[in-house]
Structure 1
Amino acid sequence: MIYFDNSATTKINSEVLDTYNTVSKKIWGNPSSLHNMGEVSWNLLQQSRQQIAKLLGVQPGEIIFTSGGSEGDNWVIKGTALAKRQFGKHIITSSVEHAAVRNAMHQLEDLGFEVTYLPVDSEGRINPEDVKAAIRPDTILVSIMAVNNEIGTIQPIREVGAILKDYPRIHFMVDAVQAIGKGIDDVVFSDRVDFATFSGHKFHAPRGTGFVYKKNGRQLAPLIDGGGQEQGLRGGTENTPGDAALAKSIRLLKEKESTVVNTERQIKQRIIDHIKTFPHVKVFSKGNDGFASHILCFAIVGVRGETVVHAFEDRNIYISTTSACSSKKDTETSTLSAMNVPQNIAECAVRVSLGDQNTLEEADVFNDTFDELYDGFKKILG
């Protein structure tokens, strides 16, 4: 089997699973309890928080555990809206955000907030000057993803941050779900970013784990009220086994980050160099530094994406249409649509997404399989 759908989810690391199981069996007290079992759980939770903060170069108090990227996105967006609504109801985002951001914005629009959706160029990238032009006296939040989940575009986070230095009261959020472990921490954690969201199952941690980076001093209303956990910002009994496993997974990820990124770039480029020679193929992702190392989006124009996905699946190679979160819904791909790609081409798009377990040999198998499938699709292509 060749698994090229790592942007959808990753297989949990065996060492990480061992950590999860060990903590579940041996350290199962409630971290809020006053007795020794609770104290042990609390200490492990804080150690996990400290480890993540050290690896990412931030303060332990700036790491807030969540259930994943969708919760984090919704929390920062809606939490900002609640906390800052007396100062304004205008939000700026891009037209290519993940559904967790996009749908949260739509919900706020229903509640009377106004959202500006920035356009993108032919590579799916916003123009920082459009951010500057969109800022109003009542703007409270700018939310821009770090890496596009459909085609892998790296957004100009640092340039947007430079603009927002002149607007210190505006929150700046980055959806970093596709960015961790990809050699771009200097982009995600530029000094003007106030919030960044992360999801554990994207980097071999258990599903249902994640965290938000929240810069010290930034105001954010809770999305989940409860017993005062996570500095009173996220109620509910902490997922101690999951959070310990999450910290373990990030440590393992960072240990080999540069090697993995280099290999991913080689795999991606080998596939691009091969498929771009075919007349009906349109490649949307590039192999340069403006794109993440692990995401490759292309279309065999004239063959629907789901047909291509299932054809590869029949040969034990797993890829996806442009986003696993919307691949089973009959909707336009938001990124390609925003790039003004015609719908008849966009509906043919598929995504190959790489991880640390993939190899160049797998790229060669993929390319050989592509040749075979393309030859079979000639009846459709005419």
Structure 2
Amino acid sequence: MSNEIYLDNSATTRPYDEVVQYLAEVNRDFYGNPSSLHTKGIEAEKLLKKARTQIASILKADAKEIFFTSGGTESNNMAILGYLRANPRAGKHIITSEIEHPSVLEVFKQLSLEGYRVDFIPVDSKGIIKLDMLRKAADKETALLSFMYTNNEVGSNQPITEIAKIRKELCPSGILHIDAVQAFGKTDIVPSYMNIDLMSVSSHKIHGPKGIGALYIKKGVRVKPILLGGGQETALRSGTENVPGICGFGLAAEIASKNMDESYKKVSALRQRLVDGIRANIAAAAINSSDETLPYIINVSFPELKAEVLLHHLEQRNIFVSTGSACSSHKSSISHVLKAMGVTPKAIDGAIRFSLSASNSYEEIDETIRALKEIIPVISIKRRGKVW
């Protein structure tokens, strides 16, 4: 719809028009199985190689270090479980933070039931891990550390360089996994320069198709497959490759990388306009995202309101936002990210996530601010009267 205002880009993005066209072309004309030995299969295999090279080029990595998956969740599972299963003697201690994506947190919780000693590092009020606590937790028995580059609810960036230094100093035999799903295509990441061993990325966060992602595995790092079958992806990820999805991912990544600086500048300006407008017009609102975050995500609390009620009032005006991570929005539990940051339960109850992309406009931000200014007083009056 041309009049919709989509501000939920951290949940998923609208695919680029070029990607949609390319997907249709590949589906129609290059439908062969890449494992087939005939011409149609060879054509599909060439397209896979092209997409793999596109992703690798952006990360300044070797194409042999890129392995396609079904998305961020599988990449995170493959990185953590695959490494630990392939290296059972590496140690029984693993470290992550309190504000990770469920596809990391749930894996760590399961591993704790399987005999692993797990440390969940706390964060400060800005959503940054406490490096002093990481120093206390890391030791020679640490096999793996896993941290999210950019948090999906508040946009906080972890100090990856400092984390890598601590890893090298205190647990040199441990490996570092980074969940870069929200950061890839929005900021420069070169895993080899940053001493990252494993890194997860996803397509649908950068205007590519859903159902496709990738895992960077540094040369020399041993990972055991978590899916068994036909041995695709050099036996690390069995299953017939999603050729159209992979091709769309490669093109989306190339476009995002080419426009990265320009997009960052525009989104930074959009973010500032939104934050300034909220502060100027809604006195009770509290910005939970710090100024040091990537500009694409802004988490705001409206303490006197129920976030879900505000979300649906905005939806009635064709403005689409989120109450938090799309992966856990149907659950009744409060945001574990905001709780770890020390945000009060009342403020968490009224927290909305606005997530931007370069496809948003200044007019859309202005209209969102107008809508908030008009809606919030009405909701507040109804709430005081206990009529929704």
Instruction: Select 2:341's aligned residue among 301, 320, 339.
Output: 339
Other-structure match for 1:132: 135
How far apart in 2 are the matches of 1:175 and 1:108? 18
Measured against aligned partners, the alpha-carbon deviations of 1:288-323 in whole angstroms (never above 9, x if no partner) come to 3x2011000001102111011111111110001011
1:354 aligned to 2:359?
no
How far apart in 1 are the matches of 2:25 and 2:331? 39
Could you tell me how far 1:174 is from its partner in structure 2? Answer: 0.5
Measured against aligned partners, the alpha-carbon deviations of 1:210-241 in whole angstroms (never above 9, x if no partner) come to 10111111111111112221121111111111
Other-structure match for 1:231: 234
Instruction: Select 2:91's aligned residue among 88, 107, 111.
Output: 88
Spell out the pairing of 1:97-246 with structure 2 (5 A cutoff).
97-166=100-169, 167-185=171-189, 190-246=193-249
Other-structure match for 2:288: 284
Q: Residue type of the partner of 1:218?
A: V
Other-structure match for 1:304: 306
Could you tell me how far 1:136 is from its partner in structure 2? Answer: 2.5
Could you tell me how far 1:189 is from its partner in structure 2? Answer: 5.7
| Contact 2:143-2:173 at 8 Å conserved across structures | yes
Measured against aligned partners, the alpha-carbon deviations of 1:71-126 in whole angstroms (never above 9, x if no partner) come to 00111111122122223111100000011111111111222222100000010110
Query: Any stretches of 5+ residues in structure 1 without a counterpart?
Result: none
How far apart in 1 are the matches of 2:380 and 2:250? 48
Measured against aligned partners, the alpha-carbon deviations of 1:18-42 in whole angstroms (never above 9, x if no partner) come to 1112112221222122222222221
Other-structure match for 1:270: 273
How far apart in 1 are the matches of 2:241 and 2:189? 27
* Corresponding residue SS for 2:125: coil
What is the Cα-based RMSD across aligned positions, in Å? 1.5
Could you tell me how far 1:261 is from its partner in structure 2? Answer: 0.9
TM-aligned CA distance change 1:210 to 1:254, over 3 Å: same
| Contact 2:90-2:173 at 8 Å conserved across structures | no
TM-score (structure 2 length as normaliser): 0.94
1:20 aligned to 2:28?
no
Query: Any stretches of 5+ residues in structure 2 without a counterpart?
Result: none
* Corresponding residue SS for 1:297: strand
How far apart in 1 are the matches of 2:230 and 2:172? 31
* Corresponding residue SS for 1:231: coil
Moved more, 235-244 or 59-68: 235-244
Could you tell me how far 1:169 is from its partner in structure 2? Answer: 1.8
Could you tell me how far 1:361 is from its partner in structure 2? Answer: 1.4
Runs of 4+ in 1 over 6 A off after TM superposition: none
TM-score (structure 1 length as normaliser): 0.96
Other-structure match for 1:293: 295
Could you tell me how far 1:248 is from its partner in structure 2? Answer: 0.6
Other-structure match for 2:373: 371
| Contact 2:140-2:172 at 8 Å conserved across structures | no
Could you tell me how far 1:380 is from its partner in structure 2? Answer: 5.2
Sequence identity percentage: 37
Measured against aligned partners, the alpha-carbon deviations of 1:32-84 in whole angstroms (never above 9, x if no partner) come to 22222222221221111112111221110111000100100111111122122
Other-structure match for 1:322: 324
| Contact 2:310-2:376 at 8 Å conserved across structures | no
TM-aligned CA distance change 1:325 to 1:123, over 3 Å: same
Other-structure match for 2:315: 313
Could you tell me how far 1:10 is from its partner in structure 2? Answer: 0.9
How far apart in 1 are the matches of 2:37 and 2:285? 62
How far apart in 1 are the matches of 2:55 and 2:103? 24
